[in-house]
Structure 1
Amino acid sequence: MLNASKIKNTLRPGLVGGLMSLAGTALGAGDIEFNTDVLDLNDRSNIDLSRFARGGFILPGTYTMFVQINGQPISEQAVAFYPPEDDPKGSQACVSPALVEQLGLKASDAARLTAWKDGECLDLQGLPGAQVSADLATSTLDINLPHAYLEYSALNWDPPARWDEGVPGLLVDYNLTAQSNAQKNERTRNHLSGNGTLGANAGAWRLRADWQGRVDSARDRSAGEQKLEWSRYYAYRAIPSLKARLVVGENYLYSDLFDSFRFTGAALNSDESQLPPNLRGYAPEVVGVAKTNARVVVSQQGRVLYETLVAAGPFRIQDLNDAVTGTLDVRVEEQDGSVQTFKLNTAGVPYLTRPGQVRYKLATGRPSDLQYGADGNFFGTGEFSWGISNGWSLFGGAITDNNYRAATVGAGRDLLALGALSLDVTQSHANVWNQTLSGKSYRLQYSKNFEQYDSQVTFAGYRFSDKNFLSMSEYLDARHYGMNGELAGRGKYDEFGQYAGEFKPIGGNKALYTATVNKQFRDLGATVYASYNKQTYWSRPASQRWNLSVSRYFNVGTVKNMSLSLNVYRTQDYNYKDNGMALTVSLPLGRSGTLSLDANRTAGKNGFSTRYSDRLDERNSYQLSASDNSASGYLSHTGEQADLTLAASRQQGNTSLSMSARGGGTLTRHGAALHRTGSMGGTRLMVDTSGVADVPVRGYGTPTRSNAFGKAVIADLSSYQRTAASVDLERLPKNVEATQSVTQVTLTEGAIGYRSLEVISGEKAMAVLRLSDGSAPPFGAQVKNANQQDTGIVNDGGSVYLSGIQAGEQMFVSWGERSRCVLTLPQALPADGLTHALQLDCRMAATDQTLSSPAELTGKPTATEHTSS
């Protein structure tokens, strides 16, 4: 009886190692002959070493190779090798103009390259220090270039020539939340809400439709018990040559100079996400404290941007889109029925631009409203920022319609080690309700990026506005609701159907203060996060929101990694006030658990609770909480097809149950799959595992497994950044082998990428091959399956360790220039397993005992075969 695993471990390494050692001694030689006496073989005349016969030389032809620049993979593509003009017997890799474009060279350096082979190839030797080398054994072409020649070099960032627009397809993403509250002596109140995106991709275009809705079984008012609305229809695409994004349809004005409002039209904006990472802005953060398991909804002008369930205790939402600007509405709905609401003014870094570059944003259309549709005159707006030197940027812009116009001009200064500063002034002029209002608004912004402290950001901003200054959105509100907000009931109910207080006059903003500090003190093991927003008005009370979060890790005796955290906040908005505080002491308990003791004060009430949180495994985590009058539980599950959250609580006889599900589905011509999702309608990668099911693949997070059709979708991807998708080799099922386990791709925003990984499924066993005349295929012959995947290399005497054995299927053995034979696997594999070597006949593929390619039998091309020149 043969020990197959032992033979596998010794046969292939010995064979490949011996061949590599032979080839290694011959590097740099011209014509090479192997000394076959060093090989322990019975028949040295029956050997095929043609694939190993030349060291440092590649036979002229075209090969499929993995191209790498400075050690970073670019893509797999066809590379031609030609004899150089000064060495007819040699060969040199042809670096085509298309490949040079993918290298990201500066335009001045790319112009220095000389052409050869009638312009088909470019010679990188014109750049001192540049090197090009090829390794046929690993099918790689290595290009090494000094960074001085590259336009920009950053980890995981690629120039536009390497971006992938993806494949055509359809997608549907959703986020659903269901809640049921049973209160004493009252009927049960059920609530279902959700939002999501339907989309289609065609070439570079992304077509999207966003929806949001809710259903309530019991409300104080009859109106609004159920509602489903399409919040916007739009299409967009990237324009890499302009580093810009074109959007047509229903959209929101995302401006660095003017406030945001909804409109229907077109916008062309410089896209920061297409820039290298350290030239981009950052997304707003929402920080707060939940008394119980709570639903957090972040919206803007009635459109839901983000909705999630959070466990009791402090929460921090950091995955909002970095394109979001303006004022956000945050609503925290506790399971005991109480509600926290506050507004958050998003902070932006000073409007600075790299020297010699211009960033711009253009838009035109008609203002629109979720409830009333198009509502207003056609408008146009444009803004720019010009980097006039290493330190200075000049920026400005204007917006206008028939009765409103505003213009902004400003300057920004890079203070190097001291940070960055910008100052601008806006003049507005509005004709509304037979009134003419004119005023100015001044803004000062400062920021500093502490790269030595994990790229933490400090931001501070101040804006002062005259009494008669109106922004565009305030002007639109005044046209629709009146200057005092009395028309159409402005201010009476918010987008959730909840009473929002008295009518508020429109405009009248006086001063806005914003500050955000986020810093780590590594020596102290402490982290500090603080944010402050305050808006004062000319004719009504001020509104403000400040939040302070301090945490520190420390040790007490033998107890390690304890933590102490303090979260304090204050919210004041017109006639609504809320103060809160939470002090938490946490200590590790068990293998991965954490026990926390909380003392909190919210809405004028003190509370004490104990929480225990732990991870069951990589996919499941939970939290249990108890206090003097309540108990709650929270379970989070990262599934194959969706992320699920369950929450339950009981407080003074009131019971609450909640559940949320977040996921999506993607359909392309290559197949379809249900999956977890990141941002709604966002970028994703479909991975084809060669039709093999249950293969674990991962991006950055928890792996997902391929479905019954061998398809899996990874949605935790960033746009315009190089992303690796890989097979989780440690979790591969039995009898599944990945011959190619990693692929890399850089996708544009909203793209559906597609990549195929070489995965072989089937039994593994030793086999002995015999030709029709009783002889064996030569040593070194290759064995492939019908998908042209390598399944073995023939050893001495025709023995071979085969993988991917499927009953009744055929495999193909090739050697030399044209010799091929076909072996057919048994229709029924042995019931006791493949513990003995299989005796297989290999039938010559044609009457002349030659065959030009296995593709003649299967109809499939051979990826590894080359065409000689």
Structure 2
Amino acid sequence: MTTQHHLLYKDGSRASHVTLLRSRRLPMLIMAAFGSTSAWAAPAAPAAASGALEPAADPGVVQFSNAFVGTGQSSVDLSRFEQGTTVLPGNYSVDIFVNEGRVSRQDMTFHAVDGLKNAQPCFTYAELVQMGVDISTLDPATVNPQNVCIAISAVSPEATAKMDMGELRLNVSIPQASLLKRARGYVSPDLLDQGETAFLLGYTVNAYAINQSSSGPRSSGGNAISTDGTPVQVQNSAYYTPTGSGTYTPSTSGNYMLSNNGTYVPVQVGSYTPATSSGYHYSDINAYVGLNLGLNVAGWRIRSVETAQWDQNTGHTTWHNFNTTATHDITPWKAQLTLGDSYTQGILFDTTPFRGLTLYSDDRMRPDSQQGFAPVVRGVANTQARVEVRQNGNLLYETTVAPGPFVINDLYSTGYGGDLQVMVFEADGTVHSFTVPYSAVPMLLRPGVSRWAITDGQVRNTSLQNGMPYFVEGTYQRGINNWLTLYTGAQSTYRNLYHAYLGGAAINTPVGAFALDVTNSHTTFKGAGASQSGYSTRLSYSKAIATSGTTLAVASYRYSNGNYLSLGDAVQTQDLLTSMASNPSNWAAPSLLRSKQRVQVTINQDFGGKYGQLYFNGSRNTYWNGIPNATTYQLGYSNTFKRVNYGVTASRTYSYSPALRGSRYDNQVGLNISIPLGGPSARNVPMLSAMVSHDDVMGNNDRVGINGSFGERSQYNYNANVNYADHSNDKTTASGNLGWQAAYGNLNAGYSYSSHYQQGSVGASGGVVVHGGGVTLAPQIDLTSPVAIIDAPGAEGARVSSSGQAKINSQGYAVVTSLTPYRINDVTLDPTGASMDVELQTTRLQTAPRAGAVVPLKFDTVSGRAALIRATQPNGEVLPFGAEVIDASGNSVGTVGQGGQMFVRGAEDGGALTVKWGDSEREQCKVNYQLPARTKGRASSLESADAVCR
């Protein structure tokens, strides 16, 4: 790693730019670069009589060899280079440590102080605040925001600041009495940056085309009613085949049908021609656009999530606004105020979508030592498939995945509760689904820490036919001591429909953490003249056993009696009763899916070393009103043998659906193996993977594939797969995908083929930021996280080290993503790829952004044609080593190196330099140099020229 510095002499003149290696032997390297030799003395031979050793020379002192200066030349004062540990005045990028704790990395200015060999650091007011100094006890005449050079002695006479040039580390020692009492990881609110006004757009585009045909009718199917009323053949799927004509009607989306019990069945509607003995043909194009819009202005962060789906066969384009919010920090309370369409947090009560306002404490604004969530979706695709993730019927995410295991770990958080429904649409027409639990964990908090939320708004549920009631909700949690946390909450609708009260405690014990709470609900149905009260009890448990590598992540049990209703249950029941009363002949009230008992268990076991890892997930749900139980178990084991990774999975699901013609168990087992096709030291090694699986319904499925990446920065990725399924009309399928992670966006394309279908997809994702400097593209943008806009004029091609493939564009801007809000973030630039005609004055800046902020970061640059001048005196001798070089404006721009070489910048075609190694006219000369005409395409090269100093 290198760090760039700019040095200033005591008289304020600028020295040449140098690059210093971060090494404990920095002084030696500097001296070697200037052609010096060190006086590191070897011990003398032991004396014959005494055996005493001569003391070694002071390693901090060096001397320059005359062999490099040149014999017969006038001497040059090189004393300023002879003290290897001397800190010269100038600017340095340093790591600041306060009382051995790292605070930050930033540029510091060092200035000369009379009587001291080393230059001393200048501290700003903001830097003292960042270091935790108690500003209120200091003299405001000296320590104030206007003073940009505060000595460390102004903090305390006992305070010291020592620079370690070898490590570029500034060690600051401050008495505890002069520091504020703060938790580790604290960032002062004075340092938080709300950024600038900006518009943000994150986008995901996916297009999916399929063409299916067959010489004979489907082996199973049944009829459904299409959008134009014509009976059509439904997709072949043992999971979701309707049992009779007229049972299902199209939903508004055109891609699902609503059964007579109120559930959605995922079949393609209006896409098939009627089945005949001569076969069938089906083709369709499906397109999806996901937009995440943002506007930052005056500290407000306005966000909106929009999705659109288009289907060629139905001609339907469905737009959906997932939510629109406006959020602002409430810094004194460490809280956020959100207005618009959002969700309650779901920590104590079930999450509820609402339109209104919520004020809640934000754990991210607390220090690290005082301290969130969307689940990871894991599944397996048998072919190249389209995957949808829905919550409460709303489309959260859609993507195309390759055959084999897939992981979706970039879902936007929508609260702590509400299970996710995952639909996998295979290329051969089959569809399978599963549910990912999304619920809370034990609610233990640190002593003295509180978590709270207040919500006032209108229930947001588009399925309600008779209005959406208003409600209020309040929750509060408080850590009492190391083992006890108490919490409580209340929900109430405005017109006396529903009231609920919750109380509970979380306890930390040697055998694990427990949380137990009881909720009482009271519901009064308008127009029905009836009311009911019920209760629900919830018990949660978690435990990590470090000695055995066992983590019982979540084990929870909940029991609700027959009269208990959640807020969502009460609102839906009231809506149905109102509809029945207004038109009873058209209604037969369906049974609500009201939970009776729910058990969830997640266990992870790390056997350590070569013995692998084991995991188990299980859930069981029972319901009131005679609705059948639902049970799921998953068991998996993974390990590595040498460089071969392998895993075994097994699962069992018991479910009930009219589409399944009743209840049944579905058992699945599988084996995955991946092998690197290259040595351990090789770059971009391809991976060969294989999978064999068996499903009670789908039969056997085997897959073999290869995947990997290529490119200088591994920016290209690929995979190719061959799949065999013995229960499919298409026994063998082949597919491939190619992706490009570009500097300003991501592109992907895929294709799959079999004897009965062809399928292709293309997709793109990325981000756009409109800011004060213009429009800048980004590889991706997460609108829940802050971003930084780098402004580095002329540094086109320089890469952002901390942000994937991002690089400076032709306007000098780049977008930095993945910043952590309310924390000190390092943002670094790698000048590799930029023109040699541009010098970065610094390659690292720090920022502490607020959540969602767009923070401008200015990287100062110096532009000008760079050249290496090799100059000699008229008699042919090289110029004296160490002589000072002065430009035409009288500024010191460096010193002469070995062989009379000088590095200069700024002259486009040539220029004049003055070289001085003394005060007399005989000890100076002028160099007039001429650079060759520029060659197209060589702007990033270092030019060189020979000249005579006269």
TM-score band, normalised by the shorter chain? 0.7 to 0.9
Aligned to 2:431: 339
Deviation at 1:249, TM superposition (A): 1.6
Distance 1:809 1:150 in 2: 59
Q: Alignment partner for residue 104 of structure 2, among 74, 99, 122?
A: 74
Deviation at 1:233, TM superposition (A): 1.9
- Of all paired residues, the percent bearing the same amino acid is 22
Q: Which amino acid aligns with 2:104?
A: I
- The answer to whether the aligner puts 1:172 opposite 2:201 as a matched pair is yes
Q: How does 1:669-818 map to 2 (within 5 A)?
A: 669-680=772-783, 682-699=785-802, 702-728=804-830, 740-757=842-859, 765-768=867-870, 779=882, 781=884, 793-795=895-897, 799-802=901-904, 807-808=908-909
- The answer to whether the aligner puts 1:624 opposite 2:729 as a matched pair is no
Structure 2 alignment gaps of length 5 or more: 1-19, 22-27, 41-56, 145-149, 214-279, 679-684, 726-730, 918-923
Distance 1:11 1:267 in 2: 59
Q: Is the 8 A contact 1:289 1:567 kept in 2?
A: no
Q: How does 1:385-784 map to 2 (within 5 A)?
A: 385-402=477-494, 403=496, 404-416=498-510, 418-433=511-526, 434=528, 435-449=530-544, 458-482=553-577, 504-506=590-592, 508-544=594-630, 546-555=632-641, 560-570=643-653, 572=655, 574-575=657-658, 579=666, 581-588=668-675, 590-591=677-678, 592-602=685-695, 604-617=697-710, 618-619=714-715, 620-627=717-724, 629-640=731-742, 641-680=744-783, 682-699=785-802, 702-728=804-830, 740-757=842-859, 765-768=867-870, 779=882, 781=884
Q: Is the 8 A contact 2:604 2:616 kept in 1?
A: yes
Q: Is the 8 A contact 1:167 1:201 kept in 2?
A: yes
Distance 2:583 2:75 in 1: 95
| Distance of aligned partners of 1:310 and 1:766 in 2 relative to their CA distance in 1, 3 Å threshold | same
Q: Which amino acid aligns with 2:32?
A: G
Deviation at 1:326, TM superposition (A): 1.5
| Distance of aligned partners of 1:517 and 1:320 in 2 relative to their CA distance in 1, 3 Å threshold | farther
Q: Is the 8 A contact 2:927 2:948 kept in 1?
A: no
Q: Is the 8 A contact 1:598 1:610 kept in 2?
A: yes
> Matched residue of 1:284: which SS?
coil
Structure 1 alignment gaps of length 5 or more: 1-7, 493-501, 843-869
Q: Which has the larger radius of gyration?
A: 2
Aligned to 2:131: 103
RMSD between aligned residues: 5.0
What are the superposed Cα offsets for residues 477-522 of structure 1, whole Å, 9 maximum, x if unpaired?
2333449999999xx9xxxxxxxxx974236321122222334322
| Distance of aligned partners of 1:662 and 1:835 in 2 relative to their CA distance in 1, 3 Å threshold | closer
> Matched residue of 2:850: which SS?
coil
Distance 1:794 1:191 in 2: 68
Q: Which amino acid aligns with 2:564?
A: F
Q: Alignment partner for residue 348 of structure 1, among 416, 429, 440?
A: 440
Aligned to 2:272: none
| Distance of aligned partners of 1:810 and 1:271 in 2 relative to their CA distance in 1, 3 Å threshold | farther
Distance 1:678 1:670 in 2: 18
| Distance of aligned partners of 1:488 and 1:37 in 2 relative to their CA distance in 1, 3 Å threshold | farther
Aligned residues: 796
Q: Is the 8 A contact 1:292 1:334 kept in 2?
A: yes
Deviation at 1:412, TM superposition (A): 0.7
Deviation at 1:826, TM superposition (A): 4.3
Q: Is the 8 A contact 1:484 1:503 kept in 2?
A: no
Aligned to 1:4: none
Q: How does 1:66-465 map to 2 (within 5 A)?
A: 66=94, 68-69=96-97, 70=100, 72=102, 74=104, 76=106, 98-104=126-132, 110=134, 115=139, 118-120=142-144, 131-134=160-163, 141-143=170-172, 151-153=182-184, 160-184=189-213, 185-219=280-314, 225-276=316-367, 281-321=372-412, 324-327=415-418, 328-370=420-462, 375-402=467-494, 403=496, 404-416=498-510, 418-433=511-526, 434=528, 435-449=530-544, 458-465=553-560
| Distance of aligned partners of 1:27 and 1:176 in 2 relative to their CA distance in 1, 3 Å threshold | same
Deviation at 1:35, TM superposition (A): 9.5
Q: Which amino acid aligns with 1:411?
A: A
Q: Which amino acid aligns with 2:722?
A: S
| Distance of aligned partners of 1:566 and 1:72 in 2 relative to their CA distance in 1, 3 Å threshold | same
Deviation at 1:324, TM superposition (A): 2.8
- The answer to whether the aligner puts 1:14 opposite 2:35 as a matched pair is no
Distance 2:465 2:125 in 1: 50
Q: Is the 8 A contact 1:470 1:507 kept in 2?
A: no
What are the superposed Cα offsets for residues 756-795 of structure 1, whole Å, 9 maximum, x if unpaired?
4567788754215799xx9999946478999x9x986444
Distance 1:89 1:695 in 2: 37
Deviation at 1:361, TM superposition (A): 1.2
> Matched residue of 1:316: which SS?
strand
Deviation at 1:114, TM superposition (A): 5.1
Deviation at 1:205, TM superposition (A): 2.4
What are the superposed Cα offsets for residues 183-216 of structure 1, whole Å, 9 maximum, x if unpaired?
1132411101121211122353211121111000
Distance 1:33 1:288 in 2: 65
Deviation at 1:88, TM superposition (A): 11
Deviation at 1:17, TM superposition (A): 7.7
Aligned to 1:846: none
Distance 1:267 1:164 in 2: 23
Q: Is the 8 A contact 1:612 1:623 kept in 2?
A: yes
TM-score normalised by L of structure 1: 0.77
> Matched residue of 2:295: which SS?
strand
Q: Which amino acid aligns with 2:376?
A: E
| Distance of aligned partners of 1:133 and 1:713 in 2 relative to their CA distance in 1, 3 Å threshold | same
| Distance of aligned partners of 1:756 and 1:98 in 2 relative to their CA distance in 1, 3 Å threshold | closer
> Matched residue of 1:837: which SS?
strand
Q: Which amino acid aligns with 1:532?
A: G
Deviation at 1:381, TM superposition (A): 1.6
Q: Is the 8 A contact 1:81 1:92 kept in 2?
A: yes
TM-score normalised by L of structure 2: 0.71
Q: Is the 8 A contact 1:27 1:56 kept in 2?
A: no
> Matched residue of 1:749: which SS?
strand
